[in-house]
Amino acid sequence: MSESGVSTKPEDGMVIVCWSGEIDKVWPQMILGTTGAAYGMDVTLFCTFWGLFTLKRPEVGITGDNWMTKMLGAFNNERLSHLNFGGAGPKMMRSIADRHKVAPPEELLATAMELGVRLAPCQMTMDLMGLKREDLIDGIEEPLGAAAAVSRMQNAKINLFI
Amino acid sequence: MSDVAKTLDASGLACPMPVVRTRQAIDQIESGQILEVISTDRGSLQDIPAWAESTGNELVEKEDAGDRFTFRIRKA
């Protein structure tokens, strides 16, 4: 039992496979992750494929070591899954969210870290995108593979893929 | 009714922050003490009672003033 009387048994775990880096999907990743932590759950956000962009330092571009990985750099810009309008959509969505006092994904990410949410980058995605540990933000876990992620999912009551 | 040990003003915050801040505030009081939460987020009417029930904390009072909601929660 933790200090607030909340059970922290392993089966009270939550794993969110954060696959998308689109802002309208990063939002629910962060909202559900922080809420799980507020429930006293042991929460892991396993950041893979486009979801890894959330953990990338903003100043780091995807450079890659050949023309194909270099092309991934085109995805550095913020996107919406629907109504993207060439990048205008995310700006509108942020402005509407701000008017409704919805915290931006960056603030929710900081809150998640404050609450002890485990942010786990996918090693294979890092290799694909040519990202090194130092290209990612501080305060996250060591990179994981699929097996370590599955072990956590096996012990989690709630598993989501967003 | 016991005295309120701590009041959290979550006015102006939207989902999920009222619940997140409630969790952080309840971590700062002792078992058996009462936390008062004030919220303007309509979703809190469902969210705070659901959170309290799932975490074993007791919702002792819920007040709906139309655009302002007050909850009193006894820490487990």
Distances (CA, A) of A39 to A2, B12, B17: 11, 22, 13
| Gap from A58 CA to chain B (nearest CA, Å) | 25
Does pLDDT of A6 surpass 60?
no
Least trusted range by pLDDT, from A6-15, A149-158, B48-57: A6-15
Catalytic residue among B15, B20, B60, B76: B15
CB contact A115 to B (< 8 Å):
yes
- Residue A117 lies in domain: 10-161
pLDDT digits (tens, 9 = 90+) for B2-31: 689 999 999 999 999 999 999 999 999 999
Number of domains composing chain A:
1
- Domains along the sequence of chain B with CATH: 4-74 (3.30.110.40)
Residue A2 within any structural domain of the chain = no
pTM of the model: 0.87
Q: How far apart are CA A162 and CA A157, in angstroms?
A: 16
Mutation test of the interface with chain B: which of A11, A101, A157, choosing the one with the most B Cβ atoms within 10 A? Answer: A101
pLDDT band for position A66 (50/70/90)? low
CATH number of the domain encompassing residue A106? 3.40.1260.10
Task: Tell whether A1 is covered by a domain.
Answer: no
Instruction: Confirm whether A5 is domain-assigned.
Output: no
Confirm whether A149 is domain-assigned: yes
